[in-house]
Structure 1
Amino acid sequence: MPEGHSVHRIARQFARNFVGRPVAASSPQGRFAEGAALLNGREALTAQAVGKQMFVEFDGELWLRVHLGLYGAWDFAGEIFTDPTIASANGRMGQTNQRGTVLDDEPVWDAAGENSLTSIGAPRRSRVHVRMSEQTRGLADEGPEWPPPVVGQVRLRLLTEITCADLRGPTACEVQTPDEMLGTLAKLGPDPLVGDPAEGEERFTAAVRRKRTPIGLLLMDQSVVSGIGNVYRAELLFRARLNPHTPGKDVPEEVVRGLWRDWAGLLRVGVETGQMMTMDGLGPEEYRKALASRDDRHWVYHRTGLPCRVCGTAIVMEEAAARKLYWCPRCQA
C-alpha cells in the first residue's frame, strides 16, 4: 500500500499539472461514470494529501477523494511538469522517472519502482510516455497518439490538453461536497505536512497516551496519525528502540513526541526522494546503494531472520492485525 510520502508526491504532481486548468473527466471502466460526469469540464482549484488520501477541489464546490489502498495507482502520460519542491537525493533539483532518482546527474535505479513519476501507487510496469522537462512543449502533437489509448481497467481518466492521469484499482474514488470532505478529514489523524506540526504533535501525543492499544497498532491507525504504513511503522519503532507491543499509555511522553518528530523528518525525506529512506549516517556510496535497493535502506523491514544491523540478533516477523510486523527482539526489548 502506498504510504504517506507517495500520496503527497501525487498531490504535488496534480497541483503542478492539473490545478488552474479545465479537466476532462471520464470513466473508461464505467464504475465511476456518474462521478466523472459531475467533474467533467470543471477547473481543478487545489490538490492536497492528508495521510494516504488525496483531495482535489474543483469549481462548483466539488471535491474528488481518492484512497489508493493496496492496489491503486495513478499512471501519468503526456507532458509532466516536475515539482521544484521535490529535489533529488543529494538536495539538487533533479527529476525522477519510473525507477530512478537522480544523484550527481546519474540515475540510480530502483528495481522496485518505489519512487515513480509515471506511475505512483501499487508497483506496475509503466505503459505510458512521459516528457519530464518543464521547457518541453507540444508532446501531444509531436509524440505518441493523443489522448493515449486506455489500457486496462481505468476507473477515472483526468485529461488536460497536454497531460493525462489514469486511476486504476483504488479502494475509494468519490465526489464529495465540502461538508463531506471536511467530515472525512475529521476522521483522520494529524499529518506532519498538513497544518501546524506543533498542533499535530499534541493531537498525536494525546491520542497515543490515552490508549492501551499496542503502539505497533496505533501507528497504523489512520485516526491516530495519518500516512504511516507497514514500512514506516517498523522503521520508526526500531529507530525509537521501542517494543511494538508496548501499550500506548505506557510509552513515555518524550518517546511519543520523538516518534512524531521522527515521522515528520522521514516523511519529508520520502517526499523529496520518492523512497522510504529510513537509515541515517550513510556515506555517498552507501546512500547510492540504499537508493537503488530497499534491502539496503531499512533497519528491520523485510529482514526476517537476518541479523540486526545494530546487535546481530535475528529480526523477527509476526502477524499484527493481519499485517507483517518486523522488529528486533533485543534492541526493542
Structure 2
Amino acid sequence: MPEGPEIRREADRLAKVLVDERLEDVSFGLPRLVQYESRLAGCTVSAIDTRGKALLTRFDNGLTLYSHNQLYGRWYVCQRDGYPDTGRSLRVALHTATHSALLYSASDIEVLDEDELAQQPFLRRAGPDLLSEDLSAKAVAERLRGSRFRRRALQALYLDQSFIAGVGNYLRSEILFHARVAPGASPQKLDDTAIARLGRSTMIIGRRAYRTAGITNPPSRVRALKAQGYKRADYRFAVFAREDRPCYRCGSLIRRTTASSRRLYWCPVCQAP
C-alpha cells in the first residue's frame, strides 16, 4: 500500500495539471457517484492536498473529492483522453482542456461538502499528517508521551493512523531503526533521550522518503551502494526487506518478525530491548 510520502508525491503530480484549471468533463465508474458528474463539470480545481494516505481534490464550488488508494488504487496523468493501456477498472476521470487525471481500481471514494468532510470517518480519526508543515519532532515526542499513546508498543503504534497519519509498514521499520529503539518497547519505558530521538527520526525518515520517492537510506550510503553496482531495490532501505542481511551499522543480521499482522524488520543489536 502506498504510504504518506507516495500519496503526497501523487498529489503533487496531479496538482501540476489540475489546480487552477477548469474541468471540461468529469465521469465516475461507481454508480453511487454518477450524480456528481454534472455538479463538478465546469468547476475549477482549487487545491489538492493529503491527510496521511487520503488524497483530497478540492473544487471551487465547495465540494471535495476524497479518495483513498488502499492496496490497489492508482492515479494516472496523461494528455487529454490518452487513456493508459491497463486492465484496471476506471473509477474517476477528471478532464481539463489539455490533460486527464484518472483514478483506477480504488473503491474508497466520496464526494463531500465541508460538513460531510468534517465527519468523514478516516479523516475524523486521523492524527497529524506526517508531512504537515505544522508537525515537528517536538510535537511527535509530545504525542509519544501523551496518555493516549505512551503505553502502546511502538510496533503497533506506528501503524495507527490516529497517531501519525501517513506512516505505513516500510516507514515503521525504517523510523524505529533510525531511532535505535526496540519495536516492542512502549514510550513510557523510554527515557527522554530516546523519545527525542524517535521524534527526530520520524521527521527525518518521513521527509527523506518524500524527497527521494521512497528511499530511506541516507544519501551518502545510497551513493556508496550505487557505486558498487547495487540496484534501487538493494539500496532503498536500511532494514526493511533485508532479512538475514548485515546491518549497515553493526554487521548483525537483520531479523524479520510479524507485528500487527504486517512484516517488520529490525536489528537485534542496534535496537536491543
TM-score tier, shorter chain, comes to 0.7 to 0.9
Greater relative contact order structure (CA < 8 Å, 6+ sep): 1
2:83 is the counterpart of 1:148: yes
2:128 is the counterpart of 1:190: yes
* Contact residue 130 and residue 166 of structure 2 kept, 8 A: no
2:93 is the counterpart of 1:157: yes
Residues 325 and 57 of structure 1, relative CA distance in 2, 3 Å threshold = same
Alpha-carbon distance, 1:28 to partner: 4.0
Q: How does 1:19-58 map to 2 (within 5 A)?
A: 19-23=19-23, 24-28=25-29, 30=31, 32-58=33-59
Query: For residue 271 of structure 2, what is the aligned residue in structure 1?
Result: 332
Q: Secondary structure at the match of 2:221?
A: coil
Query: For residue 68 of structure 1, what is the aligned residue in structure 2?
Result: 69
Alpha-carbon distance, 1:225 to partner: 0.5
Residues 200 and 159 of structure 1, relative CA distance in 2, 3 Å threshold = farther
Query: For residue 162 of structure 2, what is the aligned residue in structure 1?
Result: 223
The structure with the greater share of residues assigned to helix is 2
2:205 to 266, 271, 280: 266
Aligned identity (percent) is 29
Residues 72 and 61 of structure 1, relative CA distance in 2, 3 Å threshold = same
Query: For residue 114 of structure 1, what is the aligned residue in structure 2?
Result: none
2:104 is the counterpart of 1:168: yes
* Contact residue 141 and residue 198 of structure 2 kept, 8 A: no
Q: How does 1:1-333 map to 2 (within 5 A)?
A: 1-23=1-23, 24-28=25-29, 30=31, 32-78=33-79, 146-148=81-83, 151=86, 152-184=88-120, 185-198=123-136, 200-201=139-140, 204-207=143-146, 210-282=149-221, 284-286=223-225, 292-333=231-272
Write the deviation string for residues 94-132 of structure 1: whole angstroms up to 9, x where unpaired.
Answer: xxxxxxxxxxxxxxxxxxxxxxxxxxxxxxxxxxxxxxx
List runs of 5+ in structure 1 lacking aligned partners: 79-139, 141-145
Separation of aligned partners in 1, 2:248 and 2:184 = 21
Matched to 1:162, the amino acid is T
Residues 176 and 268 of structure 1, relative CA distance in 2, 3 Å threshold = same
List runs of 5+ in structure 2 lacking aligned partners: none
Q: TM-score w.r.t. structure 2 length?
A: 0.86
* Contact residue 189 and residue 204 of structure 1 kept, 8 A: no
Separation of aligned partners in 2, 1:331 and 1:31 = 51
Residues 41 and 207 of structure 1, relative CA distance in 2, 3 Å threshold = farther
Matched to 1:12, the amino acid is D
Query: For residue 104 of structure 1, what is the aligned residue in structure 2?
Result: none
* Contact residue 299 and residue 309 of structure 1 kept, 8 A: yes
Q: TM-score w.r.t. structure 1 length?
A: 0.72
Q: Secondary structure at the match of 2:76?
A: strand
Q: Secondary structure at the match of 1:281?
A: helix
* Contact residue 174 and residue 216 of structure 2 kept, 8 A: no
Q: For this pair of structures, how many residues does the alignment match? A: 267
Separation of aligned partners in 1, 2:17 and 2:244 = 44
Separation of aligned partners in 2, 1:30 and 1:42 = 21
Q: Which moved more, 1:259-268 or 1:201-210?
A: 201-210
